[in-house]
Homo-oligomer: A and B are copies of this chain.
Amino acid sequence: MRKNTIDLQEKLQELLLAQRDNFLQGKVADYIPALASVKPDLMGISVATIDGQVFGAGDYQHPFSIQSISKVFGLVMAMNRIGDSIWQRVRMEPSGQPFNSIIQLEWEKGIPRNPVINAGAILVSDILTSHFSASKLAFLSFVRKLAENDNIYVDNQVYLSELKHGNLNAALAYLMKSFGNIEAEIPDVLSHYFTQCSISMSCEQLAKSLLFLANKGIDPRTKETICTARNAHKVNAILSTSGMYDQSGEFAFSVGLPAKSGVGGGVIAIVPGYGVICTWSPPLNNYGNSVVGMNLMADITEELGLSIYY
C-alpha cells in the first residue's frame, strides 16, 4: 500500500513548493505578541520513519512554538504515571465544540471530554504538577530524550505572554477545581501548562520524538519502551477523533491519520507501523489549524497511501 520512500526527499520539496503562496490564505495567531511576530512565510515538513530514516524540506529545522502539540507528550507522561485512573478524571470522547469551550465543561460537571482539548490538557497538567516534584523540568527532560536533543528550550517570552493572556484557561481551571477535579494550586497548574505550551521545537525534532507512537510504544532507535502498546493505541485513537480541534472530522476525511495541531502552526501526524510526519507554517484557518499544514498532510498522505481508513 505504501510507496517506496526512495525519493521521498524530492517529493517533500515538490509538495512544499506547490504550497508556496497558500500561507496567504491564513492568519498568524495574534492573541499574544510573541506568536504574532513570527514570519508568516516560513514553512517546513519532515518525515521520520520507524526504520530510522529522516526526511525534510524547507524550514524543517527551524524551531517554532509547539503549543498544543505538547498535549501529546503530557498525556503520555500522565498515563505512564497514574495509569488508567486518569480516565476517571477525563473522558476520551470527541468534544464536538470549539477547543476551549467552557460550556461543555460545566454541562459535564468538570470532567473534560478528552485530554487534548484545553480543559483536558490543564487537567493533565494538574496530574503532572501533583505527581512530579519538578514537573516542568521532568517534561522538558522527557521531550529532550525523545528528540535526542538537549538544545530544546522553553521560550520565556512566549511563556510570559501566555500567562498574561491566560484568563480563559484560568476560568477552565477554576471551574474544574470548583467541581473538585483539580488537586494542585491553580497558579502552579497553569504555570506548568503554559510552560509546556511554550517549548520550541523543529519539525524534524517533533517527527523523531513521536516515533514511539507509530511503533506500539517502543522507540525504534533505542528499543526503549516509552509507553505500553495499549497506551500508544489510546493516544492514536484520541488524536484520530479529537486532535484537530473542531476540524477533526474533516481531517479524518481528507487525511485519515491520528494528528495534533498547535496554534504555533505545527501539525504532527502518526502513521502506525510507518513513522511520523510533521509540518509547520504559521498562518491558521478559522479552526486554528495551519492552512498549509492541512494541505501538506492531505498531499503527502495521498501520495504515499498512508490513511488508516483505506
Quick check: A106 and B101 within 8 Å, CB to CB?
yes
Q: Which residues of chain B are within 8 angstroms of A252 by Cβ–Cβ distance?
A: 92, 237-238, 240-241
Q: Which residues of chain B are within 8 angstroms of A237 by Cβ–Cβ distance?
A: 249, 252-253, 256, 309
Q: Which residues of chain B are within 8 angstroms of A307 by Cβ–Cβ distance?
A: 233
Quick check: A241 and B94 within 8 Å, CB to CB?
yes
Among the listed stretches A7-15, A136-144, A170-178, A277-285, which one makes contact with chain B, having 4 or more residues with CB under 8 Å of it?
A170-178
Q: Which residues of chain B are within 8 angstroms of A113 by Cβ–Cβ distance?
A: 96
Quick check: B272 and A308 within 8 Å, CB to CB?
yes
User: Which residue on chain B has the smallest CB distance to residue A1?
Assistant: B273
Quick check: B250 and A93 within 8 Å, CB to CB?
yes
Quick check: B177 and A91 within 8 Å, CB to CB?
no
Quick check: B92 and A94 within 8 Å, CB to CB?
no
Q: Which residue of B177, B241, B242 contacts A167 across the interface (Cβ within 8 Å)?
A: B177
For residues 229 through 250 of chain A, which have their beta carbon under 8 Å from a beta carbon of chain B?
Answer: 229, 232-234, 236-238, 240-242, 246-250
Quick check: B249 and A92 within 8 Å, CB to CB?
yes
Quick check: B253 and A249 within 8 Å, CB to CB?
no
Q: How far is the CB of A108 from chain B (nearest CB, A)?
A: 10
Pick the most buried of A177, A232, A237, A242: most chain B CB atoms within 10 A of its CB.
A237
Quick check: A233 and B94 within 8 Å, CB to CB?
no
- Given contacts A241-B249, A272-B308, A308-B308, are A174 and B167 in contact (CB under 8 A)? yes
Quick check: B240 and A240 within 8 Å, CB to CB?
yes
User: Looking at chain A, what size class is its interface with the partner chain?
Assistant: 35 or more
Q: How far is the CA of A186 from the CA of B171 in the complex (A)?
A: 11
Quick check: B174 and A178 within 8 Å, CB to CB?
no
* A46 within 8 A of partner (CB): no
Q: Which residues of chain B are within 8 angstroms of A171 by Cβ–Cβ distance?
A: 102, 170-175, 177-178
Q: Which residues of chain B are within 8 angstroms of A114 by Cβ–Cβ distance?
A: 249
Q: How far is the CA of A247 from the CA of B177 in the complex (A)?
A: 25
Q: How far is the CA of A177 from the CA of B113 in the complex (A)?
A: 24
For residues 293 through 310 of chain A, which have their beta carbon under 8 Å from a beta carbon of chain B?
Answer: 307-310
25 residue pairs of the A-B complex, CB under 8 angstroms, read A92-B253, A93-B96, A93-B247, A93-B249, A94-B249, A101-B106, A114-B249, A167-B175, A167-B177, A170-B178, A171-B173, A171-B174, A171-B177, A233-B310, A234-B253, A237-B253, A237-B309, A238-B253, A240-B309, A241-B241, A241-B248, A241-B252, A242-B249, A272-B309, A308-B308
Q: Given contacts A92-B253, A96-B96, A233-B253, could you give 5 more A-B pairs where the C-beta distance is less than 8 Å? A: A93-B94, A95-B96, A167-B174, A229-B310, A237-B309
